[in-house]
Amino acid sequence: MNAFVTGGTGFIGSHLIDRLLSRKTLNVYALVRDRNSPKWLSGKDVQLLEGDLLSLPDLPSKIDYVFHIAGATRARKWSDYYTVNQEGTASLFHALKERNIKPRKFIYLSSIAAGGPGSAENPFKESDPSHPVSRYGHSKHLGEIEALCHKNLFLLGIIRVGAVFGARDKDFVPYFKLIQKGILPSLVSNSKDISLCYVDDLIQAMISAMETDYPSGEIFNIAYPEPSSWNDLGRLAGKIMKKKLLTVKVPLCAVYPAALITDAVTEITNKPGIIGRDKYQEMRQSGWVVDVEKAARILNFHPAVSMSEAVAETIDWYRREGWL
């Protein structure tokens, strides 16, 4: 059987490919921009197909499973979100139809940003109307709509996930570096609840979505059942690192000028920063908590790694790689 993965050289995609390769019955194909730069796929038994979502290369005539992981989480300009997350998704489906490729299952990795904010008291459910608050979230929602337009042609499963952490992820490194220095950054009311997910648990959820029967077009929220906050995560990391932490509070009003500066630097360097104006819109919300009951009931999704174990494993990997 054949599996095709977009975004395979990235943080989440490379972990998924590792899991797929452990199944000796699967041949894995990965869409890569440059076959000479395989990144985390280097030396692995995976077929590299050079191209991108808008200029797809020749694909195997028979693909059993498609995992669409590629997406823009940061962008040099806002239109890039739509080019990759909406148009790229539409292009992939068009290519499959045009080439008469009919996979058994199509798994699309989306984001809780496509749904909207939620609190611990009122977590966002898959059945709730989507109301994205950022351009990133809106573009992922449009990507979902593109996918759902094809649910009668392909057996489709949509995975929504929030902040994912684990080995190979770079976005959490600056935060953990501050913790290592004994600083607990408390930005924009860090007491706000968020739904976090460990990468190993996300990969298991995608494998379950591949293997489980359910009506085409189902959406599943994936996260730890209990919400956390950035303060909770920082204190846990500080405990693991054995650091006494000094809490440094930064009010929301100070974040927006920093976001403006980040966007200005992005214009000059063409390298998107982590916190720009679009991310600021998400940070203003009361919380980002999702209900995971549906995934537990249908996919039998239950995180296998506790939050403390997951953070400890992530920190250990960062240290081994010299990232901390």
Asked if the structure places residue 292 within a domain, the reply is yes
Secondary element (H or E) of residue 219: strand 218-222
Total structural domains within the chain = 1
Asked if the structure places residue 296 within a domain, the reply is yes
Burial of 114 (0-12, 13-18, 19+ CB in 10 A): buried
pLDDT for the residue 159:
98
Contact 258, 89 (CB under 8 A): no
Asked if the structure places residue 280 within a domain, the reply is no
Contact 278, 136 (CB under 8 A): yes
Asked if the structure places residue 11 within a domain, the reply is yes
Residue 283 has phi, psi (to 5 degrees) of -70, -20
- CA 263 to chain CA centroid, Å, is 22
Contact 300, 152 (CB under 8 A): no
CATH of the domain at 23: 3.40.50.720
Asked if the structure places residue 273 within a domain, the reply is no
pLDDT digits (tens, 9 = 90+) for 171-191: 999 999 999 999 998 875 545
- Residues of the chain scoring pLDDT < 50: 190
Residue showing tokens 């009311």: 189
pLDDT for the residue 189:
56
- How far apart are alpha carbons 293 and 291 in whole angstroms? 6
Buried b (16+ CB within 10 A) or exposed e, 266-291: beeeeebbebbebbbbbbbbebbbbb
Asked if the structure places residue 164 within a domain, the reply is yes
Secondary element (H or E) of residue 96: helix 88-98
pLDDT for the residue 263:
64
pLDDT for the residue 188:
57
pLDDT for the residue 273:
72
- CA 172 to chain CA centroid, Å, is 13
Asked if the structure places residue 142 within a domain, the reply is yes
Asked if the structure places residue 254 within a domain, the reply is no
Residue 59: domain span: 2-169+195-225+287-304
pLDDT for the residue 203:
98
Secondary element (H or E) of residue 105: strand 105-111
pLDDT digits (tens, 9 = 90+) for 5-58: 999 999 999 999 999 999 888 999 999 999 999 999 999 999 999 999 999 999
- End-to-end distance of the chain based on CA atoms, in angstroms? 40
